[in-house]
Structure 1
């Protein structure tokens, strides 16, 4: 029985729950509340990862601490999404997911300064500049002087860029469905709410340039 360990853990928890309630007859709703509270008091959760082997139990315990698990799963999901997007963009003038998101951001603005566009696309200056260079070379965006800042350049999407983007949108809908996977509609709503909450938190740090080095991460982590 593959789930024997889980059943054993549940039986132990049920026994602990009964002891707390002096033998009172209990229901699933009560036990659910107890279980959530039990997990909330621990920084780690019992989980599994098909990528991990059986060695270094202490390291695996560290990896499965709740915050580490969330971070690891975000990395996995990012890689899945990028893989799907790159396959979808194959055969177009867009070479990366960043090319697509950069063009999509420009679609909703008359124009943006290069630095503002790079910032909104959540990129480093070097990689963001390279994305804009590719889009300019492909004729998908145009560049012109900023009237208010002669040192700055602004970019806007071209008609060719709009046409390409609208062709790609249909395929990107399929990517969105793949990324959301087998979640129910209510699970998708809950996930969207949680991801938006996280994005609001991280985008504020990004806009404020609050994370410039490792010590900044440690400082903000201690504030949470």
Structure 2
């Protein structure tokens, strides 16, 4: 079979992607993004070999500027998204994207504790508690005492919350289209792969609460630099 070597390469690439995703099931979309980036990795002419970057102060400076620029773009993208989300939620009881995602999370569960929802929504306790308070006040979420632990409360989406969520979904789809802009389908696959890779990295730190101080931030940043 003339294509055996190609098939063997594809199998190896699937194994690599599974390792990156810690054995989790992967989709064709995940693999497409991964493959596009693997192909792109073969072209090193844009910034040169990474080992050479570390041996050249001027090139190392460029690498750091690249990282800082990516960070800046992430912040700006977040701000653009907030602007679009605010417009999409006009005329509804929802005031923020965090309230929308909280409802969406609750829609996929029978009920959650407040702390569970706050963690799923990647929020700090104070801001997460305020989001829940507003949803309850608007009649979109119910709360009740935990039978086993009176200090804990459980919450669930109401029928009114479900109805509102369905109404908002279409407008939020428009937000998603605006966020991805004029990217081609191939570019979207590639971006999705890279963002998922970053999500896996950051979620592990978030769940394990590894970054609790400025010193932790510095330590892990240095480890990343060494491991490249």
Q: TM-score range by the shorter chain?
A: 0.7 to 0.9
Residue 164 of structure 1 corresponds to which residue in structure 2? 164
**Using a 3 Å threshold, how does the CA distance of structure 1 residues 86 and 65 change in structure 2: closer, same or farther?**
same
The offset of 1:42, in angstroms, is 3.5
The offset of 1:37, in angstroms, is 5.7
Residue 14 of structure 1 corresponds to which residue in structure 2? none
Query: TM-score, normalization: structure 2?
Result: 0.73
Higher relative contact order (CA 8 A, sep 6+): 2
Q: Secondary structure at the match of 2:91?
A: coil
Q: Secondary structure at the match of 2:122?
A: coil
Q: Distance in 2 between matches of 1:87 and 1:173?
A: 12
Q: Distance in 2 between matches of 1:148 and 1:67?
A: 48
Q: Secondary structure at the match of 1:161?
A: helix
Counterparts of 1:175-186 in structure 2 under 5 Å?
Answer: 175-186=175-186
Contact 1:143 1:156 in 2 (8 A): yes
Specify every segment of 5 or more residues in structure 1 that has no aligned partner in the other structure, as ranges. Answer: 1-31, 44-60
**Using a 3 Å threshold, how does the CA distance of structure 1 residues 160 and 219 change in structure 2: closer, same or farther?**
same
Specify every segment of 5 or more residues in structure 2 that has no aligned partner in the other structure, as ranges. Answer: 1-41, 55-60
C-alpha RMSD of the superposition = 2.2
Q: Secondary structure at the match of 2:144?
A: strand
Counterparts of 1:69-80 in structure 2 under 5 Å?
Answer: 69-80=69-80
Asked whether 1:116 is paired with 2:126, we answer: no
Q: Distance in 1 between matches of 2:49 and 2:218?
A: 25
Q: Deviations over 1:153-182 (max 9, x none)?
A: 111100000000000001110100000001
Q: Secondary structure at the match of 2:149?
A: coil
Work out the number of aligned pairs and report it.
178
Query: TM-score, normalization: structure 1?
Result: 0.74
Asked whether 1:152 is paired with 2:162, we answer: no
Q: Distance in 1 between matches of 2:46 and 2:103?
A: 43
Q: Distance in 1 between matches of 2:187 and 2:85?
A: 23
Contact 2:53 2:63 in 1 (8 A): no
Residue 38 of structure 2 corresponds to which residue in structure 1? none
Higher helix share: 2
